[in-house]
Amino acid sequence: MDVKIDILTLFPEMFDVFNYSIIGRALKNNILTINTFNIRDFTEDKHRKVDDYPYGGGAGMIMSAQPIVDCIKKVKANNSGNVIYLGPRGKTFDQSTAKRLSKEKELIFLCGHYEGIDERVYKYIDMEISIGDFVVTGGEMACIPIVDSICRMIPNVLSSSESYTEESFYNGLLEYPQYTRPEYFRGDGVPEILLSGHHENIRKWKRAKSLVMTRDKRPDLFEKISLSEEDKELMESCEKNDKY
Protein backbone atom coordinates (compact mmCIF):
# COMPACT_ATOMS: atom_id res chain seq x y z
CA MET A 1 0.00 0.00 0.00
CA ASP A 2 1.50 3.29 -1.13
CA VAL A 3 0.37 6.09 1.21
CA LYS A 4 0.70 9.63 -0.11
CA ILE A 5 1.43 12.55 2.23
CA ASP A 6 1.77 16.07 0.84
CA ILE A 7 3.13 18.86 3.03
CA LEU A 8 2.56 22.55 2.29
CA THR A 9 5.29 24.67 3.84
CA LEU A 10 7.56 27.69 3.50
CA PHE A 11 10.58 25.55 4.41
CA PRO A 12 10.58 22.28 2.42
CA GLU A 13 14.19 21.55 3.35
CA MET A 14 13.19 20.98 6.97
CA PHE A 15 11.51 17.73 5.92
CA ASP A 16 14.74 16.16 4.66
CA VAL A 17 14.71 14.42 8.05
CA PHE A 18 12.28 11.87 6.57
CA ASN A 19 14.98 10.61 4.21
CA TYR A 20 16.66 8.82 7.11
CA SER A 21 16.02 5.90 9.46
CA ILE A 22 12.71 4.01 9.43
CA ILE A 23 10.74 6.54 7.35
CA GLY A 24 13.58 6.83 4.84
CA ARG A 25 13.54 3.04 4.40
CA ALA A 26 9.77 3.10 3.83
CA LEU A 27 10.20 5.80 1.17
CA LYS A 28 12.84 3.75 -0.65
CA ASN A 29 10.57 0.69 -0.54
CA ASN A 30 7.66 2.69 -2.01
CA ILE A 31 5.48 2.08 1.02
CA LEU A 32 5.21 5.84 1.49
CA THR A 33 5.38 8.93 -0.66
CA ILE A 34 6.08 12.24 1.08
CA ASN A 35 6.05 15.37 -1.09
CA THR A 36 6.66 18.96 -0.07
CA PHE A 37 5.22 22.03 -1.77
CA ASN A 38 6.68 25.49 -1.21
CA ILE A 39 3.79 27.85 -0.55
CA ARG A 40 5.98 30.74 -1.71
CA ASP A 41 5.94 29.29 -5.25
CA PHE A 42 2.22 30.07 -5.47
CA THR A 43 2.25 33.74 -4.51
CA GLU A 44 1.16 36.31 -7.05
CA ASP A 45 3.37 38.93 -5.41
CA LYS A 46 6.34 39.83 -7.61
CA HIS A 47 8.60 39.92 -4.55
CA ARG A 48 7.40 36.41 -3.53
CA LYS A 49 5.83 37.77 -0.35
CA VAL A 50 3.46 35.39 1.43
CA ASP A 51 2.59 37.51 4.47
CA ASP A 52 1.26 40.94 5.37
CA TYR A 53 0.33 43.13 8.35
CA PRO A 54 -2.90 42.22 10.19
CA TYR A 55 -5.98 44.39 9.78
CA GLY A 56 -6.80 46.13 13.05
CA GLY A 57 -3.19 46.14 14.13
CA GLY A 58 -1.27 43.70 16.24
CA ALA A 59 2.15 42.20 16.53
CA GLY A 60 3.77 40.18 13.78
CA MET A 61 2.71 39.21 10.27
CA ILE A 62 -0.09 36.99 8.95
CA MET A 63 0.22 34.48 6.11
CA SER A 64 -1.89 35.68 3.18
CA ALA A 65 -4.82 33.63 1.93
CA GLN A 66 -3.97 33.67 -1.79
CA PRO A 67 -0.74 31.63 -1.90
CA ILE A 68 -2.02 29.12 0.66
CA VAL A 69 -5.35 28.54 -1.08
CA ASP A 70 -3.78 28.26 -4.53
CA CYS A 71 -1.23 25.80 -3.16
CA ILE A 72 -4.02 23.71 -1.59
CA LYS A 73 -5.96 23.67 -4.87
CA LYS A 74 -2.88 22.56 -6.80
CA VAL A 75 -2.19 19.71 -4.38
CA LYS A 76 -5.86 18.69 -4.25
CA ALA A 77 -5.75 17.97 -7.98
CA ASN A 78 -3.70 14.85 -7.21
CA ASN A 79 -4.47 14.21 -3.55
CA SER A 80 -8.02 13.71 -2.28
CA GLY A 81 -7.01 13.51 1.37
CA ASN A 82 -8.12 15.82 4.16
CA VAL A 83 -6.25 19.10 4.62
CA ILE A 84 -4.83 19.16 8.15
CA TYR A 85 -3.61 22.46 9.57
CA LEU A 86 -1.08 22.49 12.42
CA GLY A 87 -2.48 25.20 14.65
CA PRO A 88 -3.39 26.11 18.25
CA ARG A 89 -7.18 25.72 17.91
CA GLY A 90 -6.97 22.05 17.09
CA LYS A 91 -7.44 19.00 19.24
CA THR A 92 -4.21 17.95 20.91
CA PHE A 93 -2.57 15.17 18.90
CA ASP A 94 -2.40 11.77 20.59
CA GLN A 95 -1.88 8.12 19.75
CA SER A 96 -5.54 7.49 18.97
CA THR A 97 -5.45 10.27 16.36
CA ALA A 98 -2.26 8.80 14.93
CA LYS A 99 -3.92 5.38 14.63
CA ARG A 100 -6.92 6.85 12.83
CA LEU A 101 -4.88 8.90 10.39
CA SER A 102 -2.52 6.00 9.65
CA LYS A 103 -5.46 4.24 7.97
CA GLU A 104 -5.85 7.02 5.38
CA LYS A 105 -4.44 6.55 1.88
CA GLU A 106 -3.85 10.27 1.30
CA LEU A 107 -3.24 13.22 3.63
CA ILE A 108 -2.34 16.88 3.19
CA PHE A 109 -0.62 18.89 5.93
CA LEU A 110 -0.52 22.68 6.01
CA CYS A 111 2.23 24.33 8.03
CA GLY A 112 1.52 27.85 9.17
CA HIS A 113 4.14 30.42 10.07
CA TYR A 114 4.56 33.92 11.52
CA GLU A 115 1.49 34.83 13.64
CA GLY A 116 -0.83 32.46 11.81
CA ILE A 117 -2.96 32.32 8.68
CA ASP A 118 -5.66 34.55 7.25
CA GLU A 119 -8.97 33.40 8.72
CA ARG A 120 -10.43 32.94 5.25
CA VAL A 121 -8.15 29.96 4.64
CA TYR A 122 -10.08 27.90 7.19
CA LYS A 123 -12.88 27.09 4.75
CA TYR A 124 -10.30 24.98 2.85
CA ILE A 125 -9.15 23.12 5.96
CA ASP A 126 -10.74 19.85 7.12
CA MET A 127 -8.99 19.38 10.46
CA GLU A 128 -6.75 21.32 12.83
CA ILE A 129 -4.25 19.59 15.11
CA SER A 130 -2.15 20.98 17.97
CA ILE A 131 0.84 19.38 19.66
CA GLY A 132 0.17 21.12 22.96
CA ASP A 133 -0.35 24.40 24.75
CA PHE A 134 2.98 25.98 23.92
CA VAL A 135 4.40 28.04 21.07
CA VAL A 136 6.81 26.79 18.40
CA THR A 137 8.46 28.72 15.58
CA GLY A 138 6.26 27.30 12.85
CA GLY A 139 3.98 24.49 11.79
CA GLU A 140 6.93 22.52 10.49
CA MET A 141 8.05 21.86 14.07
CA ALA A 142 4.67 20.27 14.79
CA CYS A 143 4.29 18.51 11.47
CA ILE A 144 7.48 16.44 11.68
CA PRO A 145 6.63 14.43 14.83
CA ILE A 146 2.99 14.07 13.78
CA VAL A 147 3.83 12.66 10.35
CA ASP A 148 6.47 10.39 11.88
CA SER A 149 3.99 9.05 14.44
CA ILE A 150 1.40 8.34 11.74
CA CYS A 151 3.83 6.75 9.29
CA ARG A 152 5.32 4.25 11.73
CA MET A 153 1.87 2.63 12.11
CA ILE A 154 1.33 2.14 8.38
CA PRO A 155 1.61 -1.57 7.50
CA ASN A 156 5.15 -2.71 6.60
CA VAL A 157 6.83 0.56 7.65
CA LEU A 158 8.14 -1.15 10.78
CA SER A 159 9.63 -4.61 10.64
CA SER A 160 8.24 -7.28 12.97
CA SER A 161 11.14 -6.64 15.35
CA GLU A 162 10.17 -2.96 15.52
CA SER A 163 6.47 -3.50 16.24
CA TYR A 164 4.70 -0.45 17.65
CA THR A 165 2.02 -2.39 19.57
CA GLU A 166 3.99 -2.47 22.83
CA GLU A 167 5.31 1.08 22.66
CA SER A 168 4.29 3.75 25.14
CA PHE A 169 0.78 5.17 24.59
CA TYR A 170 -0.30 2.59 21.98
CA ASN A 171 -2.61 0.87 24.48
CA GLY A 172 -2.93 3.84 26.82
CA LEU A 173 0.01 2.80 29.00
CA LEU A 174 3.65 3.73 29.31
CA GLU A 175 6.00 1.02 28.13
CA TYR A 176 7.53 -1.39 30.65
CA PRO A 177 11.28 -1.10 31.54
CA GLN A 178 13.64 -2.62 29.00
CA TYR A 179 17.16 -4.06 29.30
CA THR A 180 19.88 -5.28 26.97
CA ARG A 181 23.35 -6.80 27.35
CA PRO A 182 25.38 -6.97 29.49
CA GLU A 183 23.43 -8.81 32.19
CA TYR A 184 25.27 -6.78 34.85
CA PHE A 185 26.30 -3.17 34.46
CA ARG A 186 28.29 -1.56 37.26
CA GLY A 187 26.53 -3.56 39.90
CA ASP A 188 23.03 -3.33 38.46
CA GLY A 189 21.54 -6.55 37.11
CA VAL A 190 18.68 -7.41 34.80
CA PRO A 191 15.53 -8.61 36.63
CA GLU A 192 15.73 -12.39 36.97
CA ILE A 193 12.27 -12.94 35.53
CA LEU A 194 13.41 -11.59 32.15
CA LEU A 195 16.14 -14.25 32.05
CA SER A 196 13.82 -17.09 33.04
CA GLY A 197 12.48 -17.94 29.58
CA HIS A 198 9.01 -18.32 31.12
CA HIS A 199 6.90 -16.38 28.61
CA GLU A 200 3.73 -16.13 30.70
CA ASN A 201 5.57 -14.82 33.75
CA ILE A 202 7.44 -12.35 31.57
CA ARG A 203 4.14 -11.16 30.08
CA LYS A 204 2.72 -10.59 33.56
CA TRP A 205 5.86 -8.75 34.68
CA LYS A 206 5.69 -6.42 31.67
CA ARG A 207 2.01 -5.72 32.22
CA ALA A 208 2.49 -5.04 35.93
CA LYS A 209 5.42 -2.71 35.33
CA SER A 210 3.52 -0.80 32.63
CA LEU A 211 0.57 -0.31 34.95
CA VAL A 212 2.62 0.80 37.94
CA MET A 213 4.83 3.08 35.86
CA THR A 214 1.82 4.72 34.23
CA ARG A 215 0.14 5.23 37.61
CA ASP A 216 3.28 6.81 39.10
CA LYS A 217 4.53 8.81 36.11
CA ARG A 218 1.34 9.67 34.22
CA PRO A 219 -1.68 9.53 36.55
CA ASP A 220 -3.70 11.39 33.90
CA LEU A 221 -3.34 8.38 31.59
CA PHE A 222 -3.88 5.87 34.37
CA GLU A 223 -7.26 7.38 35.24
CA LYS A 224 -8.56 6.43 31.79
CA ILE A 225 -7.63 2.74 32.09
CA SER A 226 -10.22 0.08 32.94
CA LEU A 227 -8.35 -2.35 35.16
CA SER A 228 -9.13 -6.06 34.89
CA GLU A 229 -9.03 -8.32 37.92
CA GLU A 230 -5.70 -9.65 36.68
CA ASP A 231 -4.37 -6.11 36.42
CA LYS A 232 -5.27 -5.43 40.03
CA GLU A 233 -3.62 -8.66 41.19
CA LEU A 234 -0.46 -7.97 39.20
CA MET A 235 -0.16 -4.47 40.61
CA GLU A 236 -0.68 -5.76 44.14
CA SER A 237 2.05 -8.37 43.66
CA CYS A 238 4.36 -5.74 42.21
CA GLU A 239 3.78 -3.47 45.20
CA LYS A 240 4.28 -6.24 47.77
CA ASN A 241 7.46 -7.96 46.66
CA ASP A 242 8.42 -6.70 43.22
CA LYS A 243 7.95 -10.23 41.91
CA TYR A 244 6.43 -8.83 38.78
Residue 131 among known ligand-binding residues: yes
Q: How far apart are CA 117 and CA 204, in angstroms?
A: 50
Q: How far apart are CA 47 and CA 173, in angstroms?
A: 51
Question: What is the structure's pLDDT at 59?
Answer: 86
Q: Where are the alpha helices (DSSP H) in the chain?
A: 21-28, 65-76, 95-101, 139-151, 199-217, 219-222, 229-241
- Inter-CA distances, 83 with 75, 101, 128, Å: 10, 12, 9
Alpha-carbon dihedral 153, 159, 162, 167, rounded to 10 degrees: 20
Residue 42 among known ligand-binding residues: no
- The answer, yes or no, to whether residue 105 has pLDDT greater than 70, is yes
Which residue among 113, 134, 160 closes a domain?
160
Q: Do 34 and 51 have their domain in common?
A: yes
DSSP reduced 3-state for 145: helix
pLDDT band at 166 (very low <50, low <70, confident <90, very high): low
Q: Do 15 and 55 have their domain in common?
A: yes
Q: Do 170 and 89 have their domain in common?
A: no
Q: Do 72 and 112 have their domain in common?
A: yes
The one-letter code for the residue type at 66 is: Q
Q: What is the mean pLDDT of the chain?
A: 92
pLDDT > 90 in the chain, percent: 84
Q: Do 141 and 179 have their domain in common?
A: no
Residue 134 among known ligand-binding residues: yes
Q: Do 114 and 7 have their domain in common?
A: yes
Residue 90 among known ligand-binding residues: no
Q: Do 215 and 126 have their domain in common?
A: no
Residue 144 among known ligand-binding residues: no
- The answer, yes or no, to whether residue 209 has pLDDT greater than 70, is yes
Q: Do 99 and 136 have their domain in common?
A: yes
Q: Do 144 and 209 have their domain in common?
A: no
Q: Do 183 and 145 have their domain in common?
A: no
Which residue among 137, 160, 183 closes a domain?
160
Alpha-carbon dihedral 72, 75, 78, 83, rounded to 10 degrees: -50
Q: Check if the beta carbon of residue 129 is closer than 8 Å to that of residue 146.
A: yes
CATH value at residue 199? 1.10.1270.20
Q: How far apart are CA 160 and CA 116, in angstroms?
A: 41
- Average pLDDT on 70-90 reads 97
Q: Do 136 and 237 have their domain in common?
A: no
pLDDT > 70 in the chain, percent: 94
- The answer, yes or no, to whether residue 240 has pLDDT greater than 90, is no
Q: Do 11 and 132 have their domain in common?
A: yes
Which residue among 139, 160, 181 closes a domain?
160
Rg, C-alpha atoms of the chain: 23
Query: Residue 155 sits in which domain range?
Result: 3-160
CATH value at residue 91? 3.40.1280.10
Number of structural domains (the chain) is 2
